[in-house]
């Protein structure tokens, strides 16, 4: 593109821009355009409202209404009432009214077009038709669409249940002996927040138990039958039996003569369960992290899985499932099928911080599945509800409810991966429970548990200290080797001489790390054990009011940038003591390791780690911080004890004695030295070629 072309394009742009600017509308013209547009919109709304045609009752509608009222109305009053609709049958004629938006619309007026505002009349008609269709759709069950909601209570020493006749469900489940942070008792189920139902689908009808009013019949102190009496002597119900002294509730689907209502070819019954999980702990953030949906695949080898506990998640299952559970940090509601569930769809959704219910609830969860059904069986399906605490020995004892299959309910307690879980279940929990037989103060139990663990690990601690002592004594010799071979070209020679020094002295540079690595699984196992240990819930020790929650000594309302999600809005004293002790232990360790002087960056990194632990552990259970504080304190004591008992002169003499012994070169060392020689030869050859090119 030449200069003239560019100039022409610029002039054209200027002309077009100037023309548009000169012809732009004035403010008065713009205002007039806006008024015209608004008038058009208003006129369109009026035209739309004029086009709404009010509906009317047809002859077919009246015939269907009369048939439904005749079949399902109360026999004494000949009146049918449902969802604001009231219909009466008098001398073969039907009349009544529909309540819509606080207004009562008569049935007679709905026969005439224009008797009411079109919107009101159409809304009333839609509501009336919906009620009538609901009765038609539910057929034999329709007589139970209306009724009085009654509540029956049964309880034992552990669990109190309220059963509602609306839906025939457990509406409230209260755990006796466990307090919530804002209530006298923990409720696993509550009427407004939990609902479950069974659904039977035929070719033309759909029966959902949540729509029906059951007749409650208390069989005895621990058994209640919620029953629907149908035409022709057919019956369908849910029978609940509270197991004495247990958190288990047996739920059975019971029926009689149902083959006349549900065809024999219907072999599946749907199950739906929704729950808005209540918050029970003062520390909402940690409780929310440990709440979610768990499930176990059917079969002896079936695995326990769980949905993502942070954020929202959904999942579809195709295989058979033995049980589903909604659980939080310390309590669970699990539904265990006597046979199995067929697949499932699950959803878990976090409650937004903008939601007014955010402070009261944790998550909204839903589970949909299917169970096998036969209208010819007296008990086509049966289940067990576990409504109780996540206590290990208690959950372990419930495997008897499924002979021949390990229910693995203990996996509701998050105890870490396989190795760490094995340490917890095989070592930590048995010792913890054994100590609990002799003292009721859990702060003392944690102290004794820590001492036992440190005694068991003391040989590793002593071995680590001895290795550090040898390395400390060899530090001058290692420095001499480094000074003798300072060049990078002598790196292999320097390494070889250093290894020879270690070999002669009987020292191992990894000797101090290996014992610590062997202790790490126990430290990680304890990290998972304490936040999940319900025995610590509500137990006080010293200034900590609850060893399962942070022991906050200072609180604030502001946010600390980047760390509030971990640190919280408080300062925990046990965590602070753990941090101070950790810094002291780091100082002691660095003082005993002379080589740290040559790595100042590593030195500051070591001091930074305790501060990072303060950030991440501040919001954890105070029992965990208390354990780590005690463990570090005992470790410091063991270090000083080793300093007092171990003479460096004796260590030096032992090393000298080891140096005099003939050393048999291992195959590995021989191969290592051969590899070093080959590499050195290669480097020398490369250096010669480089010098020749110069």
What value does the mean pLDDT take over residues 79-97? 75
**Residue 186: pLDDT band with limits 50, 70, 90:** very high
If you average pLDDT over each of 300-314, 415-429, 563-577, which comes out highest? 415-429
- Where would I find the H helices in 382-490? 392-397, 418-423, 429-436, 442-484
How much is the mean pLDDT over the chain?
Answer: 79
CA dist 473 to 247, 649, 662, Å?
A: 62, 10, 21
Residue-level pLDDT at 511: 55
- Strands of 300-360 (E only): list them: 304-306, 313-327, 331-350
**Residue 411: pLDDT band with limits 50, 70, 90:** very high
As a whole number of angstroms, the distance between CA 410 and CA 413 comes to: 6
Query: 38 Cβ partners below 8 Å, 6+ apart?
Result: none
CA dist 673 to 125, 176, 419, 489, 490, Å?
A: 96, 71, 37, 16, 14
Residue-level pLDDT at 527: 87
**Residue 25: pLDDT band with limits 50, 70, 90:** low
Assess contact for 432 and 557: CB atoms under 8 A.
no
Residue-level pLDDT at 513: 61
Architecture of the domain spanning 151-414: Distorted Sandwich (2.70)
Is the per-residue pLDDT at 574 higher than 50? yes
What value does the mean pLDDT take over residues 123-140? 74
As a whole number of angstroms, the distance between CA 85 and CA 508 comes to: 88
What are the structural domain ranges in the chain? 59-144, 151-414, 442-655
What value does the mean pLDDT take over residues 95-100? 80
Strands 103-106, 248-256: parallel, antiparallel or unpaired by DSSP? unpaired
Strands 292-297, 313-327: parallel, antiparallel or unpaired by DSSP? antiparallel
Residue 25 CB burial class (10 angstroms; 0-12, 13-18, ≥19): exposed
**Residue 531: pLDDT band with limits 50, 70, 90:** confident
Is the per-residue pLDDT at 95 higher than 90? no
Cα 38 → chain centroid: 52
* pTM score above 0.95: no
Is the per-residue pLDDT at 318 higher than 70? yes
User: Greater confidence, 446 or 643?
Assistant: 446
Is the per-residue pLDDT at 113 higher than 90? no
Residue-level pLDDT at 52: 47
Residue count of the chain: 694
Angle at 241 between CA 236 and CA 245, to 5 degrees: 170
> In 159-172, which positions are buried (b, 16+ CB within 10 angstroms) versus exposed (e)?
bbbbbbbbbbbbbb
If you average pLDDT over each of 50-64, 68-82, 120-134, 590-604, which comes out highest? 120-134
Residue-level pLDDT at 549: 84
As a whole number of angstroms, the distance between CA 436 and CA 430 comes to: 10
Question: How many helical (H) and strand (E) elements, i.e. helices and strands, does the chain have?
Answer: 17, 23
What value does the mean pLDDT take over residues 462-485? 66
Cα 475 → chain centroid: 51
Is the per-residue pLDDT at 571 higher than 80? yes
As a whole number of angstroms, the distance between CA 170 and CA 216 comes to: 12
As a whole number of angstroms, the distance between CA 555 and CA 142 comes to: 57
**Residue 276: pLDDT band with limits 50, 70, 90:** very high
What value does the mean pLDDT take over residues 249-260? 91
Tokens of 37: 């547009």
What value does the mean pLDDT take over residues 566-570? 74
Chain segment 578-631, per-residue pLDDT in tens: 989 988 888 877 776 554 444 555 666 777 788 888 888 888 888 889 999 998
CA atoms within 13 A on the CB side of 509: 11
Is the per-residue pLDDT at 90 higher than 70? yes
**Residue 385: pLDDT band with limits 50, 70, 90:** very high
Is the per-residue pLDDT at 131 higher than 80? no
Query: 511 Cβ partners below 8 Å, 6+ apart?
Result: 463, 464, 466, 467, 470, 471
CA atoms within 13 A on the CB side of 546: 18
**Residue 342: pLDDT band with limits 50, 70, 90:** very high
Q: Which of 205-214, 407-416, 500-509 has the lowest mean pLDDT?
A: 500-509
Residue-level pLDDT at 48: 46
């Amino acid at each position: 593109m030449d200069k003239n072309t560019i100039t022409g394009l610029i002039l054209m742009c200027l002309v077009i821009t100037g023309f548009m600017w000169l012809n732009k509308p004035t403010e008065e013209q713009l205002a007039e355009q806006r008024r015209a547009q608004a008038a058009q919109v208003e006129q369109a709304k009026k035209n739309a409202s004029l086009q709404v045609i009010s509906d009317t009752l047809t002859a077919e509608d009246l015939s269907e209404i009369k048939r439904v009222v005749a079949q399902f109305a109360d026999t004494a009053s000949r009146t049918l009432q449902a969802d604001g609709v009231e219909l009466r049958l008098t001398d073969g004629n039907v009349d009544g009214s529909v309540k819509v938006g606080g207004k009562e619309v008569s049935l007679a007026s709905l026969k005439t077009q224009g008797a009411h505002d079109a919107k009101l009349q159409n809304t009333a008609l839609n509501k009336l038709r919906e009620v009538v269709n609901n009765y038609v759709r539910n057929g034999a069950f329709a007589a139970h669409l209306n009724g009085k909601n009654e509540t029956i209570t049964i309880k034992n020493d552990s669990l109190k249940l309220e059963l509602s006749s609306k839906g025939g469900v457990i509406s409230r489940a209260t755990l006796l002996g466990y307090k919530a942070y804002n209530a006298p008792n923990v409720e696993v189920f509550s009427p407004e927040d939990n609902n479950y139902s069974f659904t039977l689908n035929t070719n033309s009808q759909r029966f959902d138990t949540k729509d029906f009013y059951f007749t409650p019949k208390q069989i005895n102190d621990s058994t209640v039958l919620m029953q629907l009496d149908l035409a022709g002597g057919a019956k369908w119900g849910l029978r609940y039996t509270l197991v004495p002294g247990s958190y288990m509730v047996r739920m059975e689907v019971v029926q009689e003569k149902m083959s006349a209502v549900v065809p024999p070819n219907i072999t599946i019954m749907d199950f739906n369960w929704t729950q808005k999980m209540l918050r029970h702990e003062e520390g909402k953030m940690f409780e929310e992290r440990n709440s979610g949906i768990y499930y176990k695949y059917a079969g002896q080898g079936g695995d326990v899985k769980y949905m993502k506990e942070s954020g929202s998640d959904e999942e579809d299952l195709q295989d058979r499932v033995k049980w589903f559970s909604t659980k939080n940090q310390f309590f669970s509601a699990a539904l265990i099928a006597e046979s199995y569930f067929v697949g499932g769809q699950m959803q878990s959704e976090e409650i937004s911080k903008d939601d007014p219910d955010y402070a009261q609830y944790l998550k909204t969860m839903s589970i949909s599945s299917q169970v096998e059904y036969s209208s010819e069986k007296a008990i086509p399906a049966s289940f067990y509800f576990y409504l109780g605490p996540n206590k290990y020995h208690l959950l372990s004892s419930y495997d008897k409810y499924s002979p021949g299959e390990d229910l693995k309910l203990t996996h509701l307690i998050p105890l870490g991966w396989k190795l760490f879980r094995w340490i917890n279940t095989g070592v930590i929990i048995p010792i913890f429970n054994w100590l609990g037989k002799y003292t009721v103060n859990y702060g003392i139990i944690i102290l004794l548990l820590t001492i036992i663990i440190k005694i068991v690990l003391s040989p590793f601690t002593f071995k680590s200290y001895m290795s550090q002592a040898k390395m400390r004594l060899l530090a001058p010799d290692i420095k001499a080797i480094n000074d003798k071979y300072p060049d990078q070209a002598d790196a292999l020679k320097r390494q070889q001489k250093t290894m020879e020094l270690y070999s002669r002295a009987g020292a191992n540079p990894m000797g101090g790390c290996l014992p610590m690595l062997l202790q790490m699984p126990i430290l990680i196992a304890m990290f998972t054990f304490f936040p999940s240990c319900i025995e610590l819930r509500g137990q006080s020790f010293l200034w900590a009011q609850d060893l399962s929650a942070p022991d906050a000594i200072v609180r604030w309302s502001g946010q600390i940038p980047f760390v509030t999600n971990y640190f919280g809005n408080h300062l925990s004293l046990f965590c602070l003591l753990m941090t101070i002790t950790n810094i002291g232990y780091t100082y002691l360790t660095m003082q005993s390791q002379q080589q740290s002087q040559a790595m100042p960056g590593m030195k500051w990194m070591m001091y930074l780690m305790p501060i990072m632990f303060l950030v991440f552990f501040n919001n954890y259970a105070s029992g965990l911080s208390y354990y780590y504080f005690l463990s570090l304190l005992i470790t410091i004591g063991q270090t000083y004890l080793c300093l007092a008992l171990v003479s460096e002169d004796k260590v030096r003499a032992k090393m000298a004695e080891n140096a005099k012994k003939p050393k048999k070169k291992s195959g590995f060392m021989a191969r290592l030295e051969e590899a070093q020689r080959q590499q050195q030869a290669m480097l020398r050859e490369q250096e010669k070629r480089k010098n020749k090119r110069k």
